[in-house]
Amino acid sequence: MTQLQLSVPIEVDGQEIIILRDTIGSDALAATSEDQIFTEIEPRGVDGRPPIYIDENALYKLRESYPGITVYGLWQILFANNLVTLGLSEVVILQTDPGSGQYLRMTPQSDWSDPANILKSSEFFDNNIPDAYDDEIDKASLIKVDVSSLQLPSSPAFTRIELYEKQKHEHTKRWYVAASICIVMAAAFGVYNYAMQTVYKINMSEYESKKAQARDLEQRTAELLKERLLVIPDDSGTISRIRQLLAYDPLMRSPTLTGQQNSFTSGHVFISRKKFPTDLARKVEGVSSQLTANLEYQFNVSPVLKGVGY
């Protein structure tokens, strides 16, 4: 049987700790003295197991003797490792020294397998269990512990002041975390807002550019519409008159005088060869003529204004 050493540093689960005597049971606090202050280190279990308490005065003494070393309760560790077997007898014992140790007593004439019926815990000496327990100690259930296989509970023992400071620290830490999150969110919002503003400016610049292009296209379209011909010109009549003149005088020419231009809208002017014998104005409709000083005819072809609508 492996013996646990109480109130001195030992190595459990790869960590140096101290195991301190604690108290459990419905009558756990009934026999305490006025100078004792008990603090709960484990709440009531889901199976009905009573809370586990520890003496703050004893815990303070260990803090002074072994500063910085974590402290756990004995029954706290035993229940956390499922080493307490109930239901076999009214008393369950753990020997820490030959003839002495800790015991757990169930409520007499109750269901000893129900953790809710744990009455109290205490210690025994010289193989003598107090409380007028009539049966022999060897009839009690024995807890066997292998220290090398023990695992530590989730939380060690704290005094109420230490718990208050721990909760205060956790509260402050949460505030710091919340403040950090707020700062990060504010910074992220600022970056996002700046990015969105930049995107907005780029989009607005592109919009204004497109808007200017649209206005320019509208102006150009309006100008083109003004120049648009509503009627397709048909100059076949004017061309027919010119062909008739050329048939009579293939050698006639356009004048070389400055400012004299031919067009299908204002008319055409042609000069006959010298000493042309015939006044073609009498032969071709729409043609007028005059005899120049050089004995040449100047023929003026009037335009025939026709068109095809579309």
pLDDT interval class at 33 (50, 70, 90): low
Domain boundary, last residue among 125, 158, 191: 158
Residues 72-107: pLDDT tens digits? 999 999 999 999 999 988 899 998 888 888 999 988
Q: How far apart are CA 53 and CA 42, in angstroms?
A: 7
- The predicted pLDDT at position 259 comes to 61
The yes-or-no verdict on residue 10 having pLDDT over 60 is: yes
In a domain, 214, yes or no: yes
- The predicted pLDDT at position 66 comes to 94
In a domain, 186, yes or no: yes
Residues 170-227: pLDDT tens digits? 777 777 777 788 888 888 888 888 888 888 989 888 898 888 898 889 888 888 887 7
The yes-or-no verdict on residue 304 having pLDDT over 90 is: no
Within 10 angstroms of residue 205's Cβ, the number of other Cβ atoms is: 10
For residues 234-261, average pLDDT: 82
Same domain, 15 and 148: yes
Q: Output 35 or 244, whichever has higher pLDDT.
A: 244
For residues 227-251, average pLDDT: 83
In a domain, 1, yes or no: no
Same domain, 45 and 123: yes
pLDDT interval class at 4 (50, 70, 90): confident
Measured in whole angstroms, how far is the alpha carbon of residue 17 from the centre of its chain? Answer: 43
Same domain, 17 and 125: yes
Q: Output 136 or 29, whichever has higher pLDDT.
A: 29
pLDDT interval class at 3 (50, 70, 90): low
- The predicted pLDDT at position 150 comes to 93
In a domain, 4, yes or no: no
Same domain, 154 and 168: no
Within 10 angstroms of residue 179's Cβ, the number of other Cβ atoms is: 10
Same domain, 165 and 147: no
Same domain, 52 and 191: no
> What phi and psi values does residue 14 have, to the nearest 5 degrees?
75, 10
pLDDT interval class at 1 (50, 70, 90): very low
In a domain, 3, yes or no: no
Same domain, 41 and 135: yes
Q: Output 37 or 28, whichever has higher pLDDT.
A: 37
Instruction: Determine the structural domain holding residue 222 and report its residue range.
Output: 160-228
Q: How far apart are CA 81 and CA 47, in angstroms?
A: 15
The yes-or-no verdict on residue 163 having pLDDT over 90 is: no
Same domain, 238 and 282: yes
Residues 132-162: pLDDT tens digits? 555 657 778 889 999 989 999 999 999 888 8
Domain boundary, last residue among 106, 123, 158: 158
- The predicted pLDDT at position 310 comes to 45
Domain boundary, last residue among 158, 174, 190: 158
Is the full-model pTM beyond 0.85? Answer: no
The yes-or-no verdict on residue 265 having pLDDT over 50 is: yes
